[in-house]
Amino acid sequence: MKGKVVFVTGASAGIGAATAMEFARHGAKLVLCARRLDRLQAMEAGLRDAGAADIFNMNLDVRDREAVQAALSNLPEGWRSIDVLVNNAGLSRGLTKFYLDDIENWEEMIDTNVKGLLYVTRAIVPGMVERNHGHVINLGSIAGYMAYANGGVYCASKAAERVITDGLRIDVNGTAVRVTSIDPGMVETDFSKVRFRGDEERAAKTYENVDPLQPEDVADAIVWAATRPLHVCVQTVLLTPVAQANAFVLTRRG
């Protein structure tokens, strides 16, 4: 990965930040975007110390199609030929019965998890196909394999990610472009705090009496997939903590 250009969306925290750090350790050039530019800027010194060849930060909301197109069309020279795209930006909002949920929650999840992924991918993949080189790595979820109570729309958004990823892999078949979905189970990030709109007490209960995955575990899987020999395409990685058997079955201590 030394000197390769890696673009990570939602890179200011959690899995995105851990992924940026892991690619930095491999000497990559990092294009990082998030809605919180200050968080990206605060990360920069640590990433350079870890070995990043260079860093280009962008304040970008992937839900804004015109902003995505403008930002990615106007990358500076030396940053345009993206070797690895990590579509990490995503979120969940609420944990409520479908028929009682706030429709704004649905809009935000679908706009970010599905449409945002599509906008960024549409802007980047034509260049990969033209160069006959590149790797798209999308962040899915165990939630994309089966629905769970009170999370139907989030699960649907991650099921969409999984099918979109499969479809893209078919569409680029015949080129050297690789397409991967990394699908984690429970990961200890700000995910639950975002889901519950800052309710830290409720968010903390998600991880009580269990050893969840850490962002670094998922980042390790992402970079592992990206560093396989170029004739190898890791199509899907489903990873969970040992305590989690599937989206429903989780054993807590005590």
Domains and CATH numbers, the chain: 5-239 (3.40.50.720)
**Angle of helix 215-226 relative to helix 14-25, nearest 10 degrees?**
50
pLDDT at 189: 85
Which residue in the list 145, 148, 154, 207 is annotated as catalytic? 154
Q: Which residues contact 245 (CB under 8 A, 6 or more apart)?
A: 251
| Tokens 């009170």 sit on residue | 150
Say if residues 110 and 61 touch (Cβ distance below 8 Å): no
pLDDT at 254: 83
> Which of 241, 248, 251 has its CA nearest to residue 148?
248
> Which of 180, 75, 62 has its CA nearest to residue 122?
62
145 is catalytic: no
pLDDT at 30: 98
Task: Going from the first residue of the chain to its last (254 residues), give the mean pLDDT of each consecutive group of 10, the final group possibly shorter.
Answer: 96 96 98 96 98 97 97 94 97 92 96 98 98 98 95 96 98 98 93 76 86 97 98 98 93 92
Q: Is 169 helix (H, G, I), strand (E, B) or coil?
A: helix
What are the structure tokens assigned to 178, written together? 């690789």
pLDDT at 163: 98
Q: Which residues contact 205 (CB under 8 A, 6 or more apart)?
A: none
How would you classify the pairing of strands 84-87 and 29-34?
unpaired
Cα–Cα distances in Å, from 133 out to 9, 167, 175, 236? Answer: 20, 18, 8, 19
- Give the count of beta carbons closer than 10 Å to the beta carbon of residue 90: 27
What is the residue type of 38? D
Provide DSSP, 139-152. Answer: E--GGGTS--TT-H
